[in-house]
């Protein structure tokens, strides 16, 4: 099952986008609707809210007075945290029940206003953020919902800003455009990314890649390669659980200023390859199926035994975000080399420039990414003595786990 997290600032238009996605075939799980259900009159949730905030949050007929509660919490961080501590666990349990009722191959859209604020992005295969400027949202709140300007401003200020939302947005949906343009963009997103992702996930296959190696300059903040890698690593840690001993961004996209293909190389460290096999299915469900075959890193001179360089390799089911996921034994030669090589390039300007020049020459002279990778491989062994010298001189150690 593919899980999409749909979020955005208040009055950005999440409900509009949710409707479009359900018309395309998605199943909606509306966190706000669930949050209302769990505090309906007579529920344990409402009783707990009244105990925390008093009878002033009730209407005359005993229902929750949402405007009154809103005025309390949107100007008081502590009050908002107390409310969240009551409601969020109830919403979580109700959400799980609704997910269990869906078909196994469903595409579930979770309309959750506070994915960013509550650090929930790792719960979803993709996070879709509906964007609209603060001025547009303020006007919508006052004009369409009849809210007082000061109340509307308080609600907007209580939420994350657009910079924080862009950091977690796998997809940013601009909802200030004409509705027909927005609908066309959502339809294209469904056809080119969401539906293929769901099919790949169901089949347990990696999204196809083809074409030559195209080198890019690192993207500008806030959605840098490092930020994207951190978001995916959080999903992988959640999927792999305690068997994941380390999770690191490696490869060219992990080196600031280095040109690279738009492919994130990530590394999970495990105690044994048996542990790698035990979490393979969970990583697949998280969107990173195992690549079939035997995978071995090229042995280096001080570790010639090829068996020591065995690993597992996973890739992206998401056609919109290319990832190579290497699962290696912690403290093994392949795991150590990947981290040392990354840190050497970060620290040594000459080595970084030498590698960048090699990448450019190789990319221009090879037909596809496979040939590009094979053509670079001898260089990694060639620079091995220099890397080892740097490790010794700097007394380098792997990052703390």
Is 15 annotated as ligand-binding?
A: yes
Question: Is-contact 186 26, C-beta < 8 A?
Answer: no
Q: Which of 219, 210, 104 is nearest to 166 (CA)?
A: 219
Is 254 annotated as ligand-binding?
A: no
Residues 6+ apart with CB under 8 A from 22: 28, 109
Is 12 annotated as ligand-binding?
A: yes
Dihedral angle at the C-alpha atoms of 304, 306, 309, 312, nearest 10 degrees?
A: 170
Q: Which helix (H) or strand (E) holds 171?
A: strand 171-174
| Cα distances (Å, whole numbers) of residue 273 to 276, 280, 332 | 5, 10, 11
Is 9 annotated as ligand-binding?
A: no
Q: Residue 302 has what DSSP assignment?
A: T
Q: Count how many Cα atoms sit within 13 Å of the Cα of residue 359 in the half-sphere of its side chain.
A: 18
What are the structure tokens assigned to 29, written together? Answer: 């799980």
Question: Is-contact 53 65, C-beta < 8 A?
Answer: no
Question: Is-contact 53 87, C-beta < 8 A?
Answer: no
Is 370 annotated as ligand-binding?
A: no
Is 363 annotated as ligand-binding?
A: no
Binding site per annotation, positions: 11-16
Binding site per annotation, positions for ATP: 11-16
């Amino acid at each position: 099952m593919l899980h999409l997290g749909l979020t955005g600032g208040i009055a950005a238009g999440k409900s509009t986008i949710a409707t479009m996605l359900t018309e395309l075939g998605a199943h909606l799980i509306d966190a706000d609707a669930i949050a209302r259900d769990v505090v309906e009159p007579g529920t344990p949730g409402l009783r707990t809210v009244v105990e925390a905030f008093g009878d002033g949050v009730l209407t005359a007929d005993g229902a929750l007075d949402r405007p009154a509660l809103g005025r309390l919490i949107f100007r008081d961080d502590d009050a908002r945290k107390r409310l969240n501590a009551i409601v969020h666990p109830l919403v979580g349990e109700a959400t799980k029940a609704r997910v269990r009722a869906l078909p196994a191959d469903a595409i579930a859209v979770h309309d959750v206003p506070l994915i960013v604020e509550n650090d929930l992005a790792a719960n979803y295969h993709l996070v879709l953020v509906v964007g609209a400027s603060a001025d547009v949202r303020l006007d919508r709140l006052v004009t369409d919902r009849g809210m007082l300007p000061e109340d509307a401003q308080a609600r907007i200020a209580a939420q994350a800003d657009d910079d924080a939302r862009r950091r977690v947005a796998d997809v940013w949906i601009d909802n200030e455009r004409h509705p027909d343009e927005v609908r066309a963009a959502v339809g294209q997103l469904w056809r080119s990314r969401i539906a293929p992702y769901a099919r790949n996930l169901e089949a347990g296959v990696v999204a196809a890649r083809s074409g030559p190696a195209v080198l890019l300059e690192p993207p500008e903040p806030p959605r840098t390669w490092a930020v994207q890698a951190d978001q995916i690593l959080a999903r992988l840690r959640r999927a792999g659980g305690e068997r994941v001993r380390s999770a690191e961004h490696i490869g060219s996209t992990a080196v600031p200023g280095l040109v690279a293909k738009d492919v994130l190389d990530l590394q999970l460290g495990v105690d044994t390859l048996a542990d790698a096999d035990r979490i393979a299915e969970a990583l697949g469900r998280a969107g990173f199926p195992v690549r079939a075959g035997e995978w071995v890193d090229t042995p280096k001179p001080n570790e010639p035994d090829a068996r020591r360089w065995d690993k597992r390799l996973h890739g992206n089911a998401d056609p919109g975000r290319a990832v190579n996921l290497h699962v290696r034994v912690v403290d093994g030669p392949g795991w150590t080399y990947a981290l040392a090589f990354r840190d050497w390039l970060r620290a040594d300007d000459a080595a970084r420039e030498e590698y960048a020049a090699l990448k450019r020459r190789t990319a221009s002279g090879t037909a596809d990414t496979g040939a590009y990778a094979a053509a670079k491989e001898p260089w990694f062994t060639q620079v091995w003595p220099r890397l080892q010298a740097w490790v010794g001189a700097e007394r380098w150690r792997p990052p703390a786990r």
